[in-house]
Structure 1
Amino acid sequence: MASITLSKLSWSTPDGQGVLSDLDAAFGRERVGLVGRNGVGKTTLLRLVAGELQPLGGGVSVTGTLGRLKQAVRFGERETLADLFGVGGALATLRRAEAGEAGVEELSDADWTLEERIAAALARVGLDARPDTRLAELSGGQRTRASLAAAVFAEPDFLLLDEPTNNLDRPGREAVMALLAGWRAGAIVVSHDRELLDQMDAIVELSSLGAARYGGNWTLYRERKAAELAAAAQDLAHAEKAAAEIDRKAQRATERQDRRDGAGARAGARGGTPRILLGARRSNAEASRGEGVRLAERQRAEARTAVAAAQARVEILKDMAVTLPPTGLPANRTVLRLEGVTAGHDAGRPLIRDLSLSMVGPERVAVVGPNGSGKTTLLRLIAGQLAPIRGTVSVAVGFAMLDQSVGILDPGASIRDNFLRLNPGATENACRATLASFLFRADAALQRVGTLSGGQALRAGLACVLGGAEPPSLLILDEPTNHLDIDSIEAIEAGLTAYDGALLLVSHDETFLARVGIQRRLELSPPDRAGA
């Protein structure tokens, strides 16, 4: 039976920062959602299981084969789908055989079913492409689909998937969910996609307390987790109350004993009591006081043990808080206007053709469409990062844009320095307070951006864009939930719901779009379909 077992698994960064400690977990023939806050070690755990990292302590035991999907696909300029599948050489042999150039040994080793099996794997994720298609020709979402197809190509015993729906359009997300719905082997899925997590057989939560397993999908996990947290908080409050009551009783007992001892001493000082009797009374009083002290200490120790046990069940978390000052944007103010815009990197094959768009007041518009339809191109056009081929673009208010790669941040500078550069009027105290609200407290604010995880970098970018004293009247966000943990997504949802400016965003997360109150959708089509 295929299995993955983690035993006392520990790992630290090269500079000694602990990430995983004494982790125990087991995975079988099931689909498991691996969840937890950014930086808790989810991607690290997948890399340890895959053998890409070596444990600092403990071990990983894998019985069976693995298929791996990473968050980002790195590729060379000439690398093809066949190379991604690991069959570039075998495909080249087939090509030589078809041309009559293959030797006898090559013909005997040729896999004549290879192309058919590649096509079948690509079809499972809804991607129609030839094996010799260069990866550079594919969009980010198409590369994600291709990588998932490569992971399932050899029918592994376990799939290790790291954010498989990131960068995918709606059909792509549905293809991933359909694949996993029919997957009958094992799968460990790191994801913040609440729809996808609702298809899991179990949820494993990574936290500072270790790995906790919950049977059932995301919805059941949230219900059970909420009940557990409430019960743990109640037990902690009860234990702390009991400890305080023991302290009060011990203090009252000590004060009563002191009063009795004082009264006895005063009576002895007045005379009339034999000295031997006074000595006996003092000895009895000291013995009684000693016994009371020992009893009080035992009760205090038991109470402290109960408090510690209750605290061990409660993870001390700081919640992210996104609170934006008002922008004062009038309801009738024109925010932006595009008239007859054609744009793209290739004037001969523009992604956007003859597009007109206007936004007035605090409107909320989502740009939607399949991968490769020009959504990110449109945002870059509005932000002035790309000039139109034809037409005009006018932005009439102050704005800020946050792209998928968080390119607004200097990777060589600290989070603090980036914030002060992007918000030049901010004081040091205001900077630190804002960064703390985005979970970068004290020395965490001094981390270099280039060392952050994907989720941490996005959170830092959001802090720098949203955290100034005067937020922009127009926010332009490109897939703002990519790489964020779910608690952070919910905090962003709450902050954007209260934001009174205009919002233009690209997102494939339907739950997120619904919760931030999108009022209108602009649907783009890829260039081989009808124009936008």
Structure 2
Amino acid sequence: MPASITLSQISWSAPDGRPLFSNLDLSFGAERTGLVGRNGVGKTTLLKLVSGEIQPHSGTVSVGGSLGVLRQSVQVAPEETIADLFGVTDALAILRRAEAGQATADELASADWMLEARVAAALNRTGLDALPETPLAALSGGQRTRAGLAALIFTEPDFLLLDEPTNNLDREGRDAVIALMAAWRAGAIIVSHDRELLESVDAIVELTSLSATRFGGNWSHYRERKALELAAAQHDLTEAEKRMAEVARKAQATVERQAHRDSAGRKTAAKGGIPRIMLGGMKERSETTGGDNARLADRRRAQAMEEATAAREKIEILQPLSVTLPPTGLPASKIVLKMDGVTSGYQPDDPVIRDLSFDVTGPERIAVTGRNGSGKTTLLALVTGALKPWAGTVSVMTDLSMLDQKVSLLDPSASIRDNFRRINPQADENTCRAALARFMFRADAALQTVSTLSGGQLLRAGLACVLGSAPPPLLILDEPTNHLDIDSIAAVEAGLRAFDGALLVVSHDETFLDSIGITRRLELPSADPAG
């Protein structure tokens, strides 16, 4: 029987009572499915329901086949090794005793002589160069993710359940996971905002607060379908606005005709040609007709407005953010940043950055790349002044702002509006509200407390506060797309494309870097061959 996963009439609510799913029906076959949707819509919860980690409040989950589950983070004990993660510690111990001539006859009979080769092959498929005895605590977060994925594919499950598998991976790790999924021929459900990874899937399921919709094909096919939906919604809005205008025109024409008839009746009555009793009846009919016409016009107007509102709301959902920003006035020839022979780090005699020299001129857009541990975040700390060089000089010749993953320049206890006014003291209330509206924080949305924002809203708020009024000539970003949903990434990309200053960006997301128009790359060397 083919492997399958079926969710029937699933309902589930968060601990705070917020309903995530109501009578959800969804099925997965033996294919690679990307699960997308805004943060908080329930993607991770759906994986937990499928894996049995949590139970639905109503409905059933049926799984035909074996599952391999990869969590967003792999927590490890200090003594735990890669072999423990694979579940082969005892089997490897038998092989070690056999090699030393200490194994019993029963152990020799049960020994899996191909085990080490199969473990090595699984690690190799995720691009991780490590031994089974390697402690997991000695690996970086990205390396542990790759080890966890290798342990899953080692068991050859019918379905992989992957929750953001490329988060926190360097370029080499991302490439390895993308290549693995491109070659994967069993089932997989992949929660991800990594558009490169989603290009390798067979179908996309879009999860919203109302439903789950399946789209055949990969990410590009999905975006094409969404573009067609947007075009259809725009057409519907145009037609609805035409109907509103036509309803208004006809209603006015009806009023004018009735007024003309009433006027003609009054003139005839003034000449004495109509008996008084008939005049009363004519007046009553005129009033009745006028009331009926008004009610009919009101119904038609309300229906046309309802259709226009529905089309406009759909466009707001489908339409990517597009913003216009004030210019920075940065001259093309101005030296923005200069590093000369810089060496620095955190532990004495253990430099992270060694003898680094580079400069940024005018509105360049530079991606700082390199393996995990190569010093990308350290370089940004040197530019912002949070870290001092041990040798060499760092010269910043213009104003700058930095947005890290936590957007720490915003006060979590204050509103978006109040943060904007603090960061831009020269801006008046009208300028503040206009700037925030360009980043989709309109009216009361601008009064949200920063601590209540999702990851995507937080970064968008940070961009609005930094870029909305008098943007600095230099903007620094550290892994801005980590933990954002795809809609939020698109909004951030739109804001950065409209920025005319210099950008210094640390990111492993190649699609993001291409979208914001990176013009140059600064590759940092790494002493860690595993990456």
Q: How would you bin the TM-score normalised by the shorter chain?
A: 0.7 to 0.9
Q: Report if aligned partners of 2:477, 2:506 keep a CA contact under 8 Å in 1.
A: yes
The answer for the alignment partner of 2:218 in structure 1 is 217
Q: How many residues align?
A: 525
- Which runs of 5 or more residues in structure 1 are unaligned? none
Mapping of 1:140-151 within 5 angstroms?
A: 140-151=141-152
**Partners of 2:528 and 2:497 in 1: CA distance:** 36
Per-residue deviation, 1:78: 4.8
The answer for the alignment partner of 2:326 in structure 1 is 325
Give, as a single letter, the amino acid of the residue that structure 2 aligns with 1:334: I
**Correspondence 1:520 to 2:516:** no
Give, as a single letter, the amino acid of the residue that structure 1 aligns with 2:30: R
Q: Report if aligned partners of 1:455, 1:482 keep a CA contact under 8 Å in 2.
A: no
Give, as a single letter, the amino acid of the residue that structure 2 aligns with 1:67: G
Partner SS, residue 387 of structure 2: coil
Give, as a single letter, the amino acid of the residue that structure 1 aligns with 2:125: R
TM-score by length of 2: 0.80
Mapping of 1:325-474 within 5 angstroms?
A: 325-409=326-410, 415-416=416-417, 419=420, 422-423=423-424, 430-445=431-446, 447=448, 449=450, 451-464=452-465, 466-467=466-467, 469-474=469-474
Give, as a single letter, the amino acid of the residue that structure 2 aligns with 1:513: L
Give, as a single letter, the amino acid of the residue that structure 2 aligns with 1:517: G
Mapping of 1:118-129 within 5 angstroms?
A: 118-129=119-130
- The 3 A distance-change label for structure 1 pair 222 and 526 is same
- The 3 A distance-change label for structure 1 pair 324 and 262 is closer
Q: Report if aligned partners of 1:94, 1:112 keep a CA contact under 8 Å in 2.
A: no
Q: Deviations over 1:144-164 (max 9, x none)?
A: 322322443432332232333
Partner SS, residue 226 of structure 2: helix
Q: Deviations over 1:69-111 (max 9, x none)?
A: 34444445555434545x3xx5267548846999999999987
Give, as a single letter, the amino acid of the residue that structure 2 aligns with 1:477: L
The answer for the alignment partner of 1:139 in structure 2 is 140
Per-residue deviation, 1:299: 6.3
- The 3 A distance-change label for structure 1 pair 406 and 131 is farther
Partner SS, residue 345 of structure 1: strand
Per-residue deviation, 1:505: 1.6
- The 3 A distance-change label for structure 1 pair 528 and 70 is closer
- The 3 A distance-change label for structure 1 pair 267 and 498 is closer
Per-residue deviation, 1:499: 3.0
- The 3 A distance-change label for structure 1 pair 159 and 463 is farther
Deviates more, 1:479-488 or 1:364-373: 479-488
**Partners of 1:179 and 1:447 in 2: CA distance:** 42
The answer for the alignment partner of 2:30 in structure 1 is 29
The answer for the alignment partner of 2:234 in structure 1 is 233
Per-residue deviation, 1:238: 1.8
Per-residue deviation, 1:199: 2.0
Give, as a single letter, the amino acid of the residue that structure 2 aligns with 1:162: D
Per-residue deviation, 1:128: 1.4
- The 3 A distance-change label for structure 1 pair 135 and 404 is farther
**Partners of 2:458 and 2:110 in 1: CA distance:** 47
Q: Report if aligned partners of 2:457, 2:488 keep a CA contact under 8 Å in 1.
A: no
**Partners of 1:82 and 1:428 in 2: CA distance:** 60
- The 3 A distance-change label for structure 1 pair 280 and 519 is closer
Partner SS, residue 400 of structure 1: strand
**Partners of 1:417 and 1:309 in 2: CA distance:** 33
Give, as a single letter, the amino acid of the residue that structure 1 aligns with 2:124: A
Mapping of 1:68-107 within 5 angstroms?
A: 68-85=69-86, 87=87, 91=89, 94-95=92-93, 98=96
The answer for the alignment partner of 2:500 in structure 1 is 500
Per-residue deviation, 1:348: 4.6
Give, as a single letter, the amino acid of the residue that structure 2 aligns with 1:482: N
Q: Report if aligned partners of 1:142, 1:371 keep a CA contact under 8 Å in 2.
A: no
- The 3 A distance-change label for structure 1 pair 232 and 526 is same
Partner SS, residue 351 of structure 1: strand
Partner SS, residue 134 of structure 2: coil
**Partners of 2:479 and 2:292 in 1: CA distance:** 67
Per-residue deviation, 1:51: 4.3
Partner SS, residue 351 of structure 2: coil
RMSD across aligned C-alpha pairs, in angstroms? Answer: 4.2
The answer for the alignment partner of 2:482 in structure 1 is 482
Deviates more, 1:168-177 or 1:205-214: 205-214
Deviates more, 1:502-511 or 1:297-306: 297-306
- Which runs of 5 or more residues in structure 2 are unaligned? none
Q: Report if aligned partners of 2:399, 2:472 keep a CA contact under 8 Å in 1.
A: yes
Partner SS, residue 235 of structure 2: helix
Partner SS, residue 260 of structure 1: helix
Give, as a single letter, the amino acid of the residue that structure 2 aligns with 1:523: E
Per-residue deviation, 1:126: 0.6
Give, as a single letter, the amino acid of the residue that structure 1 aligns with 2:134: T
Q: Deviations over 1:325-350 (max 9, x none)?
A: 33333444433333333333344543
- The 3 A distance-change label for structure 1 pair 232 and 416 is closer
Per-residue deviation, 1:498: 4.1
Q: Report if aligned partners of 2:71, 2:163 keep a CA contact under 8 Å in 1.
A: yes
- The 3 A distance-change label for structure 1 pair 137 and 14 is same
**Partners of 1:451 and 1:83 in 2: CA distance:** 39
**Partners of 1:61 and 1:257 in 2: CA distance:** 67
Give, as a single letter, the amino acid of the residue that structure 2 aligns with 1:183: W
**Partners of 2:76 and 2:510 in 1: CA distance:** 30
Deviates more, 1:157-166 or 1:284-293: 284-293
Per-residue deviation, 1:179: 1.0
**Partners of 2:377 and 2:453 in 1: CA distance:** 23
Per-residue deviation, 1:239: 3.7
Q: Deviations over 1:335-388 (max 9, x none)?
A: 333333333334454333222223333333222222332222222233233344
Q: Report if aligned partners of 1:91, 1:114 keep a CA contact under 8 Å in 2.
A: no
- The 3 A distance-change label for structure 1 pair 143 and 290 is same
Per-residue deviation, 1:127: 0.5
The answer for the alignment partner of 1:191 in structure 2 is 192
The answer for the alignment partner of 1:160 in structure 2 is 161
Give, as a single letter, the amino acid of the residue that structure 1 aligns with 2:127: G
**Partners of 2:58 and 2:418 in 1: CA distance:** 36
Per-residue deviation, 1:31: 1.6
Give, as a single letter, the amino acid of the residue that structure 2 aligns with 1:46: L
The answer for the alignment partner of 1:176 in structure 2 is 177
TM-score by length of 1: 0.80
**Partners of 2:423 and 2:282 in 1: CA distance:** 77
Give, as a single letter, the amino acid of the residue that structure 2 aligns with 1:216: G
**Partners of 2:255 and 2:222 in 1: CA distance:** 49
**Partners of 1:411 and 1:122 in 2: CA distance:** 41
Q: Deviations over 1:128-178 (max 9, x none)?
A: 123343334223332332232244343233223233333333322221121
**Partners of 1:468 and 1:299 in 2: CA distance:** 41
Partner SS, residue 344 of structure 1: strand
**Partners of 1:349 and 1:17 in 2: CA distance:** 50
Deviates more, 1:331-340 or 1:173-182: 331-340
Q: Report if aligned partners of 1:160, 1:187 keep a CA contact under 8 Å in 2.
A: yes
Give, as a single letter, the amino acid of the residue that structure 1 aligns with 2:148: S
- The 3 A distance-change label for structure 1 pair 407 and 527 is farther
